[in-house]
Structure 1
Amino acid sequence: MTSSTTPVPLAPATPNPASASPSGLTVRKLEIDLSQGFDRHWYGGDAFLSQYHNALSMSFPVGEQSFIDAVRDCAKLLPQTPEHALLHEAVAQFIGQEATHRHIHGLYNAHLETQGLVNRWQHWATARIDYAKKRGAQPLHFLAVTAAYEHLTAVLADYLLRHNNTLHSADPRMQTLWRWHAAEETEHRAVAYDLYHAVQGNYAWRIRWYIYALLVFTFDSGRQTLLNLWHDGTLFKPGTWWSAAKFFWGRKGAMWYTLGPLLAYFRRDFHPDQEAFAAPEQQTRGLARRWLKENADSFRVVR
């Protein structure tokens, strides 16, 4: 694979004075207690919103580990030279952030099991990863998939951070967990993409794997949510479907706000940090840093 576009050097959109890392990324340990669990309908009593977010959480431990592996494997292909020093540092911080996400969502998912929910998504994802490895898929392909999923999660993070009323009725601990995750996804959203270009990944495979990620994410998130609602006993309640319709297609529905950013990935000149039409304080990075600053007592900086 050779690059069909000019590689984009990794650099934070704006300096992050709170980070000691040259890359601007910070590894944090979330200080919330999930040992006592949380309500079945922790999202303000709404079954659909609770079970949809639960479904997303179910994908994270396996997903985050696969992202860590892909980035670590491809970083080995990048020379240890001064011009790549910042990217190597960003990779190390990316791995640290993803490892903390994997851990906290592992605790989250363990409580979901006590509520009678069954995590099938982790097995679907593991089976696909194992199949690709058996077929001899190259590290660069796993990295392209990682870059694609990182864009999907960054778009969802942008929606969550940009709409203050999102999660407003949820359990405060869960609000903190999801907003912290969104803020860190925003911070490291360009790492896998920049590494993909640095090791000569090309546009054609970037787009092929993005289409794959879009289809698989849509299918898996849908069927895991339905499975959660089935075990929850709320699948056939009219209020469940009304909530889903409002979340995706309502006046402030997620689809209206995420479609444009999702399609932007198809541009040849796309880069995750492009936010040309928003002032710095209104850009997603600015929103993420504001939330992290205002909620600094919710986490401990590791490095």
Structure 2
Amino acid sequence: MNTLSTTPKQRKLSGATVGIPPRQMSFVQPKDAPRYFYADNATATLFFAMLSGFFPPGERFFMESVRHFRELITDETLKAQVSGFMGQEAIHGREHDRLNELFTMNGFDMTIPERTVKIGLSLLEKLPASTQLAATTFMEHFTASLAERLLTDEQFCSRADAEMIKIWQWHALEELEHKSVSYDVYNVVGNSHLERLVVCGLSVAVLVPVLAVSWGWMVAKEGKLGNVGDNLKGLNMLFGKKGFVSGILPQMPLFGRKNFHPKKHDTTALEELWRDKLFGENGQLRTEFKNYEAVMAVA
């Protein structure tokens, strides 16, 4: 006699079910936002515009380095986390492409950061696949540190235009949500401590000059390179004693520890706080979050 099974079906895992939901966002950037949206300072504003120019090519590099080893993953939870990672990174690239179009309309030369970062990444793409993945884990450590700083630095929030900052806050939250995924994939591949140390140096040697050249070029094109007052103010806000970037640098050496893992620096409470701020009942980005119902149905 046939009997109906009473064993409940196991829910299929996805990015949303493991805490890394690809949120379909659609930002409408304000046309009346101040041109220098960070503290009305050209030097600092162009630093963040330069970073936005770097993000789309960078996200694609991250995704490809992880995708190369995707078939080696047997753990179902990690498979779902990788799917969430891929989805989030793809949407980050798309939305920053749109933001970069606005910057271009505002007269910023966004071709320079995109071209120069592609040159830098093309050098890293010549490395073995495992080394490219190791480089991704280092850069994901940097972006997670950048994200935490952005969400906790009260001066950043007060200096930046309230509307322009929204895309950065969403991006920062998701960087924290998926901060350990590439590293966990690298653990599947083998995780060589020596290789990690090597890519630290290589990534810095390749990308820091690219960042500096792009930023300097953009400031020069803006006609602000000789504006000592603007330059000094911007540099101090970014690299001064309490500067935005200065607050990130102490986190960088942690990656070199043999027993490093992104989750050892716990940001769970911060993520929960910002999920509620952005996507809670009265969240700042509920309107922009186009697949809210679908995500919440399976989360």
Give the TM-score band, short-chain normalised.
0.7 to 0.9
2:230 to 240, 250, 254: 240
2:258 to 227, 251, 268: 268
2:60 to 58, 65, 78: 65
Q: Per the alignment, in what secondary structure is the counterpart of residue 254 of structure 1?
A: coil
Q: Per the alignment, in what secondary structure is the counterpart of residue 55 of structure 1?
A: helix
Using the TM superposition, give the Cα deviation of residue 217 of structure 1 relative to its aligned residue in structure 2, in angstroms. 3.1
8 Å Cα contact 2:239/2:245 also seen in 1: yes
Using the TM superposition, give the Cα deviation of residue 131 of structure 1 relative to its aligned residue in structure 2, in angstroms. 4.9
**Which whole-Å CA distance do the structure 1 matches of 2:20 and 2:110 have between them?**
34
**Which whole-Å CA distance do the structure 1 matches of 2:211 and 2:168 have between them?**
17
Change (3 A) 1:256 1:108: closer
Render the CA deviation track for 1:145-180: whole Å, top value 9, x for unaligned: 111110111111111112122132322222111111
Answer yes or no: is 1:154 the counterpart of 2:154. no
**Which whole-Å CA distance do the structure 2 matches of 1:178 and 1:287 have between them?**
15
8 Å Cα contact 1:28/1:97 also seen in 2: yes
Give 1:33-52 correspondences, 5 Å limit. Answer: 33-34=28-29, 36=31, 38-52=33-47
* Matched residue, 1:99: 90
Using the TM superposition, give the Cα deviation of residue 227 of structure 1 relative to its aligned residue in structure 2, in angstroms. 1.2
2:269 to 255, 267, 286: 286
Change (3 A) 1:68 1:247: same
Answer yes or no: is 1:126 the counterpart of 2:118. yes
Q: Per the alignment, in what secondary structure is the counterpart of residue 295 of structure 1?
A: helix
**Which whole-Å CA distance do the structure 1 matches of 2:15 and 2:192 have between them?**
32
Q: Per the alignment, in what secondary structure is the counterpart of residue 165 of structure 1?
A: helix
**Which whole-Å CA distance do the structure 2 matches of 1:229 and 1:24 have between them?**
39
Using the TM superposition, give the Cα deviation of residue 116 of structure 1 relative to its aligned residue in structure 2, in angstroms. 4.1
Give 1:194-209 correspondences, 5 Å limit. Answer: 194-209=184-199
- Could you say what the CA RMSD is over the residues aligned between the two structures, in angstroms? 2.2
Using the TM superposition, give the Cα deviation of residue 31 of structure 1 relative to its aligned residue in structure 2, in angstroms. 3.9
* Matched residue, 1:3: none
8 Å Cα contact 2:66/2:133 also seen in 1: yes
**Which whole-Å CA distance do the structure 1 matches of 2:244 and 2:205 have between them?**
17
**Which whole-Å CA distance do the structure 2 matches of 1:156 and 1:226 have between them?**
21
**Which whole-Å CA distance do the structure 2 matches of 1:270 and 1:292 have between them?**
26
* Matched residue, 1:24: 19
* Matched residue, 1:14: none
Give 1:292's aligned amino acid: R
Give 1:114-263 correspondences, 5 Å limit. Answer: 114=105, 115-131=107-123, 133=125, 135=126, 137-254=127-244, 256-263=246-253
1:110 to 96, 101, 106: 101
Q: For this pair of structures, how many residues does the alignment match?
A: 272
Larger radius of gyration: 2
Render the CA deviation track for 1:49-76: whole Å, top value 9, x for unaligned: 2100000000011110111111111112
TM-score, reference length from structure 2: 0.83
8 Å Cα contact 1:119/1:224 also seen in 2: no
* Matched residue, 1:12: none
Render the CA deviation track for 1:185-220: whole Å, top value 9, x for unaligned: 111111111110111131111111122222333222
**Which whole-Å CA distance do the structure 2 matches of 1:25 and 1:287 have between them?**
15
Give 1:126's aligned amino acid: K
Query: Which structure would you say has the larger RCO, counting Cα contacts within 8 Å and 6 or more residues apart?
Result: 1
Using the TM superposition, give the Cα deviation of residue 91 of structure 1 relative to its aligned residue in structure 2, in angstroms. 0.4
Structure 2 residues without counterparts, runs of 5 or longer: 1-13
Answer yes or no: is 1:54 the counterpart of 2:54. no
TM-score, reference length from structure 1: 0.82
Change (3 A) 1:73 1:177: same
Give 1:191's aligned amino acid: V
**Which whole-Å CA distance do the structure 2 matches of 1:103 and 1:54 have between them?**
15
8 Å Cα contact 2:100/2:110 also seen in 1: no
1:74 to 66, 69, 78: 69
8 Å Cα contact 2:53/2:96 also seen in 1: yes
